Amino acid sequence: MARKTRIAVIGGGIGGCTAAHALLQKGFDVHVYEAQPELKEIGAGVALGPNAMKAMRALGLEQAVRDVAYQGDYQYLLSWKSGRVISKNARADAERRYGAAGCSVHRADLLDVLSSGLPKEILSLGARGAEVDTHGNVAWAKFKDGTEIEADAVIGADGIHSAVRASLFGADAPKFTGKICYRSVIPVDAVPGGPPAHNGTWLGPHGAIVIYLVRRGELINVVAHHDDDTYKHESWITECDRQEPIERYGQWHESLKRLFSASQIWYKWALYDRDPIPQWTKGRVTVLGDAAHPMLPYLGQGACQAMEDGCVLAMALEAMPDDVPGALQLYERSRRPRASQVVLEARARGVDNHLVSPLAALKRDATIWLRQRISPDRGGRGLTWIPSYDPGSRSVLVI
């Protein structure tokens, strides 16, 4: 009996756990190495588009995710001060157009679904990756504590500050965007007068606010973007004074002011942009998720693209079981052009969301409204090629 191909996944976040599920499903010998002492995520929400839910469907996890998520009937685009509805998209339309509807989920709940389905014996915690390489017919990885391992392939799923990516290609050169984010998670019952009537994105001068429900509708996830070139700290876990976002968005819609007043803890981080890297793979080592294509959050595609990566990686290895380096090249060939384009589109959307000129914003809003009515299947803001993608279909492999 032939030995199973051994795959070491460095990083036990959303991308790493998705890849582990996909690889186990295809019969590979998988081991996941996570830097933290436990598998856990920060207290924030994540929007999963139709493409991500098709990935979960391919892994048999779609219903488990939906059971802990929230699914609204509509997704709204709104004007910052008046609350005017610029556009709305129906969940039923997404089912028809893309084959699945999206949902919103707490990151911790999503990781619980992903990690609870993995055999405990394939997980090593407190293992922070440091170096990787290919030695002949094996991939090699070294961890911060000096431990070394060998496998047939090493997959770097170790996030935006990836040690695997740095080991392969050198340190990246992120550029500060002049934009920052605030985030908070607020219990629905804590909002005086009740939460805003609509979930979605509010577009205003110098910024945008994204709100959606998570944890079956019990919590409201808030991500507020703003132009600010004075704060340059890139960390999701740095708290700020709760009055700062309240004052910064003090002129926005009344329902948003009520929502912000109910938050007890706000986090603040600076947004850095990175150009798509020209190569993901060397020998028997490759990267996925934020390690491969860190992107700005304006399309809500960071986690979605990582899930796509995991599914396609497993299909590529299954398609070329006797040629692991060739399979990793197939994976990169199939994924890098799409993910790189999403990176660039997210960058462009950030500019479009923050328009300062009232005339430019009115033109943008009118164009979205018109597109949605003339050609609803193309979407008011286009980019329907993103949710249309099915990462569980072998047709996405670029043979």
User: Would you please indicate which residues are annotated as catalytic (active-site) residues?
Assistant: 212
Across the beta sheet with 266-273, the strand order is 85-90, 74-79, 200-204, 207-214, 219-227, 175-187, 266-273, 239-240
Residues 6+ apart with CB under 8 A from 63: none
Bridge partner list, 203: 79, 208
* Rounded Cα distance, 139 and 137, in Å: 7
* Rounded Cα distance, 201 and 211, in Å: 6
Query: The tokens of 95 are what?
Result: 């089912």
Nearest of 306, 4, 327, 56 to residue 157 by alpha carbon? 306
- For residue 210, give the H/E element and its range: strand 207-214
* Rounded Cα distance, 266 and 212, in Å: 16
Residue keyed to tokens 């157009």: 97
Bridge partner list, 132: 141
Across the beta sheet with 138-143, the strand order is 129-135, 138-143, 148-151
Query: The tokens of 29 are what?
Result: 């010998």
| Number of CB atoms found within 10 A of residue 43's CB | 17
* Rounded Cα distance, 385 and 93, in Å: 15
Nearest of 38, 33, 37 to residue 142 by alpha carbon? 33
Question: How many residues does this entry show for the chain?
Answer: 399
* Rounded Cα distance, 303 and 316, in Å: 20
* Rounded Cα distance, 190 and 19, in Å: 37
Query: The tokens of 34 are what?
Result: 């996570």
